[in-house]
């Protein structure tokens, strides 16, 4: 049995406050015996405007939030997967080449048990939408889109393929990562309430079913500021499409933790029992 911990928080514009929430989750994950902790998109902060978000953005090497998580990971020998903001002019190591930042990267870091950042994925699909009677969100105004998927990599909970939030709406990336050997897909998110009510669970289950992989979606929950509220409902879905764990959508003022077993044999069993032999000769290979 390998346990994965999934954290649910409500990020604000205070990185110190957000780190405090994550510190609680690290302690709970360690106490539960989890081998990895998954945290939401934008765990470092959620600002009330693009300009405020840009002003808060720091490279990983200068971020009190990232540095704090690296220290906790090192202290507890716990790998942590976390979504953060980074300057668009930072390099692969998170160092900034110039002082002036025009856009950000929405990135997902994998911090290993030694506290080192060993994987870094930049969100490919950006959320640009105008919701009727709801918020107008144009992520592309302040965020630079990524242009590649990372190959799946080995972790204590399986071969992980990294994706973020709005990537969930596109089956192509998950199919591509599945073809490269992924057994677990991540979708750390900050879903809006209207889109969450409509599509969160169906999309997560669909991605799990079509790739026969575990899906882990750590979610932001509750009101971040006067303009923005997130749906919550952090979830773990099995390769058979079963929801094996889910948190609620009401923010109660404290971070929450979901702990689920990630069973490698379950992946193999589902794939043996329901082989999906795709006809790449008929349609385009993903």
For residue 279, is it within any domain?
no
Q: Is the pLDDT of residue 134 over 70?
A: no
**Is residue 146 domain-resident?**
yes
* pLDDT band at residue 95 using 50, 70 and 90 as cut-offs: low
Give the burial string for 23-47 (b: 16+ CB within 10 Å, else e).
Answer: ebbbebbbeeebbbbbbbbbbbbbb
Among residues of the chain, what percentage have pLDDT more than 70? 94
Checking if the pLDDT of 98 tops 80, the result is no
Tell me the catalytic residues: 41, 123, 165
- How do residues 245-285 score in pLDDT, each as one tens digit? 999 999 999 999 999 999 999 999 999 999 999 999 999 88
Please report whether residue 284 resides in a domain: no
Half-sphere exposure of 255 (CA within 13 A, CB side): 29
Question: pLDDT tens across 45-78, in order?
Answer: 999 998 999 999 999 999 999 999 999 999 999 9
Burial of 208 (0-12, 13-18, 19+ CB in 10 A): buried
**Number of structural domains found in the chain:** 1
Q: For position 29, what pLDDT does the model report?
A: 98
User: pTM score > 0.85 for this model?
Assistant: yes
In a domain, 100, yes or no: yes
Q: Could you list the residue range(s) of the whole structural domain that residue 92 is in?
A: 2-273
Task: Give the pLDDT confidence score for residue 97 in this predicted structure.
Answer: 53
- pLDDT tens per residue, range 167-178: 999 999 999 999
Domain membership of residue 286 (yes or no) is no
In a domain, 269, yes or no: yes
Mean pLDDT of the chain: 94
pLDDT digits (tens, 9 = 90+) for 221-236: 999 999 999 999 999 9
Q: Does any domain span residue 44?
A: yes
Q: How would you classify residue 158: left for phi > 0, otherwise alpha for psi between -120 and 50, otherwise beta?
A: left
HSE-up (13 A, CA, CB side) for residue 219: 31
| Coil vs helix vs strand at 124 | coil
What is the domain-level CATH number for residue 76? 3.60.110.10
- What is the SS3 assignment for 18? helix
In 3D space, the residue among 255, 260, 211 whose CA is nearest the CA of residue 235 turns out to be: 260
Whether residue 72 is contained in a domain is answered as yes
């Amino acid at each position: 049995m390998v346990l994965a911990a999934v954290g649910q928080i409500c990020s604000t514009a205070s990185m110190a406050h957000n780190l405090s929430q994550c510190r609680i989750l690290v302690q709970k994950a360690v106490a539960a015996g989890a081998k990895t902790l998954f945290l939401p998109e934008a765990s470092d902060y959620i600002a009330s405007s693009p300009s405020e978000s840009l002003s808060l953005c720091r490279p990983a090497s200068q971020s009190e939030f990232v540095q704090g998580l690296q220290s906790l990971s090192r202290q507890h020998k716990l790998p942590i997967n976390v979504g953060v903001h980074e300057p668009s002019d930072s390099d692969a190591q998170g160092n900034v080449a110039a002082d002036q930042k025009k856009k950000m990267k929405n990135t997902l870091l994998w911090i290993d048990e030694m506290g080192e950042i060993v994987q870094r994925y930049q969100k490919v699909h950006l959320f640009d939408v105008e919701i009727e009677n709801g918020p107008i969100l144009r992520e592309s105004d302040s965020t630079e889109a990524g242009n590649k998927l990372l190959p799946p990599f080995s972790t204590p909970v399986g071969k992980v393929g990294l994706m973020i939030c709005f990537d969930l709406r596109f089956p192509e990336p998950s199919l591509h990562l599945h073809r490269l050997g992924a057994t677990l897909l991540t979708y750390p998110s900050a879903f809006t309430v209207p889109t969450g009510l409509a599509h969160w669970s169906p999309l997560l289950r669909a991605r799990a079913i079509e790739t026969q992989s575990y899906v882990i979606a750590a979610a932001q929950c509750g009101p971040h500021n006067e303009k923005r509220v997130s749906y919550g409902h952090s979830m773990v879905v099995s390769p058979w499409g079963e929801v094996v764990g889910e948190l609620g959508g009401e923010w109660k003022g404290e971070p929450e933790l979901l702990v689920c077993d990630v069973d490698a044999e379950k992946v193999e069993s589902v794939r043996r029992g329901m082989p999906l032999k795709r006809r790449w000769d008929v349609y385009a290979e993903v």
